[in-house]
A and B are shown apart, each in its own frame.
Chain A
Amino acid sequence: MLITETPSVFENLFLSLGDTGVGLFLAGSTASFAAVESLHLLGLALLGGAALVTDLTVLRVVFRRADPARIAAALFPLLLIGLSIMVVSGVLLVSAGPLKYWLNPLFGPKLLALLFAVVAQFLLYPIVLKWNVQKSVNLSKVIAAASILIWITVAVIGRWVGLI
């Protein structure tokens, strides 16, 4: 992300997260920041577990006797809860020091990969409903495989934000 002399509206908005009460609090409290990071990881377990099991079901690796559409529907609430926890904790983590993320070349790619992952996951649901149509079955499997790879990519880029 470029540093320009006159920051864009978006840049100001992003950086202003650091001026919020909670942002300042987290910046000053190691234990609280670590707690939010921990929440981010627990959210990852829920989101990752739900997404992975849904996708593996479509790929006929697990729950081979079940209708994938029903498994997908049954795990959707858990996936949403996991995703919500990650988004909320993620915004909190940024608010503790937005400049660090604004300057990090991996942060933009992570958010882009996250967008792709969410789109792929949500695209899966209406298509997998037509499990009796061969074309839909094939397309579902392709999306499910891609979904797993994209979610893993989001997680890996996320980890590497802190390693470069």
Chain B
Amino acid sequence: MKLRALVLGLALTASVAAPASAHHSFAAMYDANRPIRLVGRLTSVEWTNPHSYFHLEVRDAQGRVTTWACEGAGPGALSRRGFSRSDISVGDTLVVDGYLAKSGGRIIDARRITLPDGRSVSGGTPGDGGPGDAAARAPRPQA
């Protein structure tokens, strides 16, 4: 019993002593009350699971440039919505509607992406536990 406790104790200590550099989160959480529209030049694309990322260079009124990341669904979900990797290229101007991250970082949950050809696709990550898509339909009439 003592040997068991010692060995298990060591394993537990080893697991929590591991370095925890949490400054870069894998999936930022978003705020339903802070919608935003970004218009910018696409600088890079990560067409990956579990999330895709579209990096935009956004220019403000003073001409200052900041880079934003827009998090979307994985390749399977995007392709099922008619959005393929070849629809966009680095250098394209994209309009991305989404929600700001609670952490305040320059990353948004991309709910809607307007492509260079004018098409709009849903970029949202379904079932991510984040805010519901309030833009999906107009307020329902009272019964």
- Interface of A, helix, strand, loop or mixed by DSSP: helix
Whether A9 sits at the interface, judged by CB under 8 Å, is: yes
CB-CB nearest in chain A for B102: A30
In the bound complex, how far is the Cα of B97 from the Cα of A11, in angstroms? 27
- Interface of B, helix, strand, loop or mixed by DSSP: loop
Chain A-chain B contacts (Cβ-Cβ < 8 Å), number: 52
B131 touches A27 (CB 8 A): yes
* B70 contacts across to A, CB distance below 8 A: none
In the bound complex, how far is the Cα of B77 from the Cα of A163, in angstroms? 6
Q: Of the candidates B129, B130, B141, which one forms a contact with A6 in the assembled complex, judged by CB atoms under 8 Å apart?
A: B141
CB of B80 to closest CB in A, whole Å: 6
In the bound complex, how far is the Cα of B80 from the Cα of A78, in angstroms? 39
* B126 contacts across to A, CB distance below 8 A: 100, 104, 161-164
Chain A residues bordering chain B, tally (CB within 8 A) = 24
CB of A27 to closest CB in B, whole Å: 7
Q: Which of B56-113 contact A (CB under 8 A)?
A: 74, 76-77, 80, 102
In the bound complex, how far is the Cα of B29 from the Cα of A27, in angstroms? 12
CB of A98 to closest CB in B, whole Å: 8
In the bound complex, how far is the Cα of B143 from the Cα of A5, in angstroms? 10
B129 touches A34 (CB 8 A): yes
A100 touches B143 (CB 8 A): no
In the bound complex, how far is the Cα of B143 from the Cα of A99, in angstroms? 17
**B positions within 8 Å CB-CB of A:** 29, 32, 74, 76-77, 80, 102, 126-134, 136-137, 140-141, 143
22 A–B contacts from the bound complex (CB under 8 Å): A6-B141, A7-B140, A7-B143, A12-B143, A27-B32, A27-B131, A30-B29, A30-B102, A30-B130, A96-B129, A98-B132, A99-B132, A99-B133, A100-B126, A100-B132, A104-B126, A162-B126, A162-B127, A162-B128, A163-B74, A163-B76, A163-B77
